[in-house]
Amino acid sequence: MQPILAFVDVPPLLRDLVARLLEPRVAVRVHPDVLDPGDLSRATAAAHIGVLVAGSREPISDLVASNPRLKVIVLLDQGRHAAVYQPRPVIELCELSTDRLVGVIEAASRGIGSPG
């Protein structure tokens, strides 16, 4: 089963751009709805989200700590840079490109099992 990718707090134009860039290159399903930032822990668990693309760092550290299967990519500077959060202590600040975004999502997808 393909991992599910969702968005939270990402502007619509950037969200559409990221989804269109990923669609032909990464085997993930994009969740049809933008997640509510009010209760991300519940929303990501209920929808079996494996990769979350966020427009803000606000709730991310606690969210990743409470959901060990979740990988989070925070888009910074209108999508020019990204921070990658995983359950293990890896946070990488990097310049964002299509190839890097695809690589991160592919790597995250390999670490995701089917929802149980």
Range of the domain at 24: 4-110
pLDDT in tens, 87-102: 765 556 667 788 888 8
Q: Give the rounded distance of the alpha carbon of 43 from its chain centre.
A: 13
Query: CA 107, CA 92: separation in Å to the nearest integer?
Result: 14
Residue 115 lies in a domain: no
Dihedral of alpha carbons 4, 116, 82, 103, sign: negative
Structural domains in the chain (count): 1
Q: Which CATH number do you get for residue 34?
A: 3.40.50
State the first-to-last Cα distance of the chain, in angstroms, to the nearest integer.
11
Question: Is there a domain that residue 97 lies in?
Answer: yes
Residue 116 maps to a domain = no
Lowest mean pLDDT among 48-52, 60-64, 66-70, 112-116: 112-116
Backbone angles phi, psi at 105, to 5 degrees: -70, -40
Residue 44 within a domain: yes
pLDDT, tens only, 18-48: 888 888 888 888 999 988 888 888 899 899 9
